[in-house]
Chain A
Amino acid sequence: EDQVTQSPEALRLQEGESSSLNCSYTVSGLRGLFWYRQDPGKGPEFLFTLYSAGEEKEKERLKATLTKKESFLHITAPKPEDSATYLCAVHYWRHGQNFVFGPGTRLSVLP
């Protein structure tokens, strides 16, 4: 079954404490993997697109990497304003276009 999972479900960090979020997928025909940030009551905000294994993207304190079966979102020296739910989504082809989101990781960064 095509699946996208994320771990951990929730993560609490102290300000400045670096960590990584995981997104694992069991789909074939991957067209792209996307990371989004979502604040309460808002729509997801686009962060990164990764298309092939080995690819890396960086933006401020965030760095996304991709392997054949998973992606990591590394957060370096996080600040309280980085607190949000981080979602990954996969776009793949099987009997048509498919767009599947993971359940998200709720990140809290404490001052």
Chain B
Amino acid sequence: DTGVSQNPRHKITKRGQNVTFRCDPISEHNRLYWYRQTLGQGPEFLTYFQNEAQLEKSRLLSDRFSAERPKGSFSTLEIQRTEQGDSAMYLCASSLDEGSPQHFGDGTRLSIL
């Protein structure tokens, strides 16, 4: 299967802990995106990469969130000092280039106790 892969699928943690999610995009895709989705809403854009360069970050992305894409391959999204409001589904997508459709993974569901 050559689709977008995300790990873990589920993460339960206590408030104040740090969490890290991983995304493996479709291998030939240059662009990688992170979104957050809460129940009953559409995905909300967080950030995206062109190869290893982080090109855009949402104004909604607090300083507790950081993303990396070393060597332009897989990406990680880290949330430091988690809060209740961080509970959501975190989705990763990749695309071949700027105008191409984004293909999504099945997400990591984060629950904050």
Contact = CB atoms under 8 A, between A and B. Distances in A.
Partners in one complex: yes
Interface of A: 4, 31-32, 34, 36, 41-46, 49, 51, 87, 89, 91, 96-104
B91 A49 contact: no
Contacts of A49: 101
Contacts of A102: 42
Interface string B42-56: 111100100000011
B98 A97 contact: yes
B45 A45 contact: no
A98 B45 contact: yes
Among A44, A49, A102, A104, the one with the most B-chain Cβ atoms within 10 Å of its Cβ is: A44
B32 interface: no
Contact of A99 (B4, B33, B105): B33
Interface in B27-44: 33, 35, 40-44
B42 A43 contact: no
Contacts of A41: 106
B101 A34 contact: yes
Nearest to A87: B42
B25 to A, nearest CB: 12
A46 B43 contact: no
> Quick one: which of B42, B98, B101 has the most chain A CB within 10 A?
B42
B10 to A, nearest CB: 10
B105 A43 contact: yes
Contact of B104 (A43, A98, A99): A43
A99 B45 contact: yes
B104 A45 contact: yes
B85 interface: no
A44 B56 CA distance: 21
Interface string B10-26: 00000000000000000
B102 A46 contact: yes
Contacts of B42: 4, 87, 89, 101-104
Interface in B79-113: 91, 93, 98-99, 101-107
